[in-house]
Structure 1
Amino acid sequence: SITQQMVKQTLVAQADTEAEAAAATADTYERKFNELRYAIAFEERYSKDWILERYLNVSYYGDGAYGIEAAAQHYFSKPAARLTLPEAALLAGVVKNPTQYDPTNNAQASRERRNLVLARMAELNVISRSEARKARKAGLGLRESPTRNGCVGVRGEFFCDYVREYLAQDPRLGRTASQRRRVLTQGGLTIQTTIDPRMQRATDAAVRSHVRPTDQAIGGLAMVEPGTGEVRALSQSRPMGSNRARGQTYLNYVVPEQYGDSNGFQAGSTFKAFVLAAALKQGISLSTRIPSPPQRTMPPDRFTTCDGPYYGDPWSVGNSGSSGTFNLYDGTKNSVNTFFAELEARTGLCDPITLARDMGIAVPESDEVAPFTLGVTDTNPLTMASAYATFAARGSWCEPRPVTEVRDSRGRIVADYEAACEQLLPQPVADAVNDVLAGVQEPGGFGYSQGLVLEQESAAKTGTIQRNKAVWYVGYTPNLAAAAMLAGANSLGHPISLNGQIVNGAYIAEAFGSTYAGPIWGQAMQAVDNVLPDAEFVDPDPTAILGRPAQVPDVTGLSAEDAAVELRDAGFVPTVGSYVDSTLAKGQTASTTPVAGATVGSGSAVTLNVSDGTEEPGRPAEDDEEE
Structure 2
Amino acid sequence: MVAVSAIMGLLVAGLAIPFAGVVGVAAKDVSKGMVNLPDELEAKELAQKTRIYDVNGNLIASLYDQNRINVGLKQISRKMVEAIVSIEDDRYYKHGALDIRGTIRAFVTNQASGSVQGGSSITQQMVKQTLLNQAETKKEAAAATDDTYARKLRELRYAIAFEKNYSKDWILERYLNIAYFGDGAYGIQSAAQHYFSKNAKNLNYLQSATLAGLVKNPTGYDPTNSPERSLNRRNVVLDRMAQLNVIPTEQADKLKERPLGLKIEKSPNGCQQSAAPFFCDYAVNYLLKDKSLGDTVKDRKRLLQSGGLSIYTTIDLDYQAGADAAVKAHVNPTDNAIGGLAMVEPGTGYVRALAQSRPMGKNKAAGQTYLNYVVPRKYGDANGFQAGSTFKAFVLAAAINQNIPLSESIYSPIKMEIPDSEFETCDGPYYGDGGWNVSNSTGGDQSYNLYTGTQQSVNTFFAQLETETGMCEPIELAQKMGITLPTAQQVPSWVLGVSDTDPLTMAQAYATFAARGLHCDALPVTQVLKADGSTFKDYGTSCEQVMPGPTADAVNDVLRGVMEPGGFGQNIAPSVPSAGKTGTNQGNMSVWFVGYTPQVATAAMVAGANELGHWVSLNGQTVGGVGIGEAFGSTVAGPIWGEAMGAVADKLDYEDFQAPAGDEIAGVLTPVPEVFGMSVKEARATLESAGFKASVAGFANSTAPEGSVVFTSPAAGTSLGSGDTVGIYQSTGYVPAPPKKDKGDKNKGRGRGRGNR
Report if TM-score (shorter chain) is over 0.5: yes
1:316 maps to which residue?
437
What is the rounded CA distance, in whole Å, between the counterparts of 1:30 and 1:389 in structure 2?
A: 63
Query: 1 CA distance for matches of 2:415 and 2:718?
Result: 35
The match for 1:297 is 417
**Following TM superposition, by how much is the alpha carbon of 1:112 offset from its aligned partner in structure 2, in angstroms?**
7.8
CA shift in 2, pair 1:58/1:347, >3 Å = farther
1:363 aligned onto 2:489? no
| Pair 1:409–1:566, CA change in 2 (3 A) | same
Matched, 1:169 2:286: no
Matching residue's letter, 2:556: N
- 2: CA distance between counterparts of 1:516 and 1:114? 54
Residues 221 and 236 in structure 1, CA contact (< 8 A), matched pair in contact too: yes
Q: 2:561 aligns with which of 439, 446, 459?
A: 439
Deviation per CA, 1:371-428, whole angstroms, max 9, x where unpaired? Answer: 1110000000001011111111111111111110000100111111111111111111
TM-score by length of 2: 0.66
Change in 2 beyond 3 A, CA 1:597/1:487: closer
Residues 391-400 or 108-117, more deviating: 108-117
Q: Which residue of 2 aligns with 1:337?
A: 459
**Match for residue 303 of structure 2 among 178, 183, 204:** 183
- Please tell me whether residue 213 in structure 1 is matched to residue 333 in structure 2: yes
Is the 2:223–2:230 Cα contact (8 Å) retained in structure 1?
no
Q: Secondary structure at the match of 1:391?
A: helix
2:655 equivalent among 532, 535, 559: 535
Q: 2:47 aligns to what?
A: 9
CA distance in 2, matches of 1:433, 1:614: 46
- Per-residue CA shift, 1:534-589, capped at 9, x if unaligned? 21111111111122222222334433333211111121111233455555565443
Q: 1:312 to 1:199 in 2, by over 3 A?
A: same
Counterpart residue identity of residue 498, structure 2: V
Deviation at 1:193, TM superposition (A): 0.7
1:519 is paired with a residue whose SS is helix
Tell me if the contact between 2:49 and 2:305 (Cα under 8 Å) persists in the aligned partners: no
1:571 aligns with 2:609: no
Cα distance per residue 1:133-180 (max 9 Å; x no partner): 999xxxxxxxxxxx9x71112111000000100000111111111000
1:502-532: CA deviation from partner (whole Å, max 9, x where unpaired)? 2222222211111111111111111111111
Amino acid at match of 2:596: Y
Change (3 A) 1:34 1:263: farther
Contact 2:700–2:730 (Cα < 8 Å) also in 1: yes
SS at match of 1:524: helix
Q: Please tell me whether the aligned partners of residues 24 and 31 of structure 1 are also in contact (alpha carbons under 8 angstroms).
A: no
Aligned residues of 2:49 and 2:309 also touching (Cα < 8 A): no
2:222–2:230: 8 Å Cα contact kept in structure 1? Answer: no
Decide which moves more: 488-497 or 539-548. 488-497
User: Which SS does the other structure have where 1:329 is aligned?
Assistant: helix
User: Could you tell me which amino acid in structure 2 is paired with residue 284 of structure 1?
Assistant: I
Residue 134 of structure 2 corresponds to 25
Q: Is the contact made by 2:311 and 2:525 (CA closer than 8 Å) also made in structure 1?
A: yes
Equivalent residues of 1:58, 1:186 under 8 A apart: no
Change (3 A) 1:209 1:124: farther
Q: Would the aligned equivalents of 1:552 and 1:595 in 2 still touch at CA under 8 Å?
A: yes
Partner of 1:287: 407
Q: CA deviation at 1:108?
A: 13
The alpha carbon displacement at 1:110 in A equals 12
Partner of 1:394: 516
Among 368, 373, 385, the alignment partner of 1:248 is 368
Counterpart CA distance in 2 for 1:539 and 1:395 is 14
Distance in 2, matches of 1:317 and 1:500, equals 25
Corresponding residue for 2:388?
A: 268
Residue of structure 2 aligned with 1:385, choices 507, 510, 513: 507
Q: Distance in 2 between matches of 1:227 and 1:489?
A: 34
Task: Tell me the CA shift for residue 211 of structure 1.
Answer: 1.1
Aligned to 1:547: 667
Q: What secondary structure sits across from 1:447 in the alignment?
A: coil
Match of 1:258 among 374, 378, 388: 378
SS at match of 2:400: helix
| CA separation of 1:34 and 1:276: change in aligned 2, threshold 3 A | farther
Larger Rg: 2
Give distance in 1, aligned partners of 2:414 and 2:552. 29
Select which of 258, 272, 277 maps to 1:157. 277
Name the CA distance, whole Å, in 2 between partners of 1:406 and 1:361.
28
Name the SS for the 1:298 alignment partner.
Answer: strand
AA at the equivalent of 2:473:
D
- 1:275 is matched by which residue type in structure 2? V
Residue in structure 2 matched with residue 515 of structure 1 by the alignment? 635
Q: Which runs of 5+ in 1 are unaligned?
A: 15-20, 62-66, 73-78, 81-91, 102-106, 136-146, 617-627
SS at match of 2:47: helix
Determine if contact 2:181/2:215 at 8 Å carries over to the other structure.
Answer: no
**Is contact 1:172–1:414 with CA below 8 Å preserved after alignment?**
no
Aligned partners of 1:194 and 1:55: how far apart in 2?
A: 35
Counterpart contact for 1:57–1:188, Cα < 8 Å: no
One-letter code of the match for 1:316? N
Whole-Å Cα distance in 2 between the matches of residues 551 and 109 of structure 1? 77
The structure-2 alpha-carbon separation of the partners of 1:115 and 1:353, relative to structure 1 and needing over 3 Å to count, comes to farther
Cα distance change on mapping 1:584 and 1:8 into 2, 3 Å: closer
Given the alignment of the two structures, is residue 404 of structure 1 paired with residue 519 of structure 2, yes or no?
A: no
**Kept after mapping to 2: 8 A contact 1:395/1:427:** yes
Alpha-carbon distance in 2 for matches of 1:34, 1:406: 36
Q: Residues 471-510 of structure 1: CA distance to partner in whole angstroms, max 9, x if unpaired?
A: 1111111101111110111234331111122222222221
**Cα distance in 1 between the residues matched to 2:233 and 2:700:** 105
* TM-fit CA distance, 1:121: 5.2
Counterparts of 1:555-594 in structure 2, within 5 Å, are: 555-578=675-698, 587-594=707-714
Alignment partner, residue 506 of structure 1? 626
The residue type paired with residue 367 of structure 1 is Q
Counterpart of 2:345 in structure 1 is 225
> Is 1:58–1:185's contact at 8 Å kept on the other side of the alignment?
no
Q: Which runs of 5+ in 2 are unaligned?
A: 1-41, 51-63, 66-129, 136-154, 199-210, 239-251, 737-757
The counterpart of 1:470, out of the listed 571, 578, 590, is 590
Return the alpha-carbon distance in structure 2 between the equivalents of residues 442 and 256 of structure 1: 32
Q: Is the 8 A contact 2:340 2:606 kept in 1?
A: yes
Conserved in 2, the CA contact under 8 Å of 1:6 and 1:55?
A: no
Q: 1:430 to 1:131 in 2, by over 3 A?
A: same
The DSSP-based 3-state class of the residue aligned with 2:569 is helix
Match of 2:647, as an amino acid? Answer: A
Aligned position for 1:624:
none
Secondary structure, counterpart of 1:500 in structure 2: coil
Structure 1 stretch 523-532 or stretch 583-592: which is displaced more?
583-592
Instruction: Write the distance in 2 (CA, Å) between the matches of 1:34 and 1:291.
Output: 91
Match of 2:645 in 1: 525
Equivalent residue letter for 1:384: M
SS in 2 for 1:297: strand
Residues 432, 113 of structure 1: CA spacing in aligned structure 2 closer, same or farther, 3 A cutoff? same
Please tell me the residue identity of whatever aligns with 2:46: K
CA distance in 1, matches of 2:164, 2:418: 74
In 2, are the aligned partners of 1:10 and 1:58 still within 8 Å (CA)?
no
After TM superposition, the score normalised by the length of structure 1 is 0.79
Q: Which residue in 2 is equivalent to 1:76?
A: none
Letter in 1 for 2:134: T
The amino acid that maps onto 1:354 is: E
Residues 1:384 and 1:129: Cα distance change in structure 2 (over 3 Å): farther
One-letter code of the match for 1:257? Answer: R
Q: What secondary structure does 2:643 align onto? A: helix
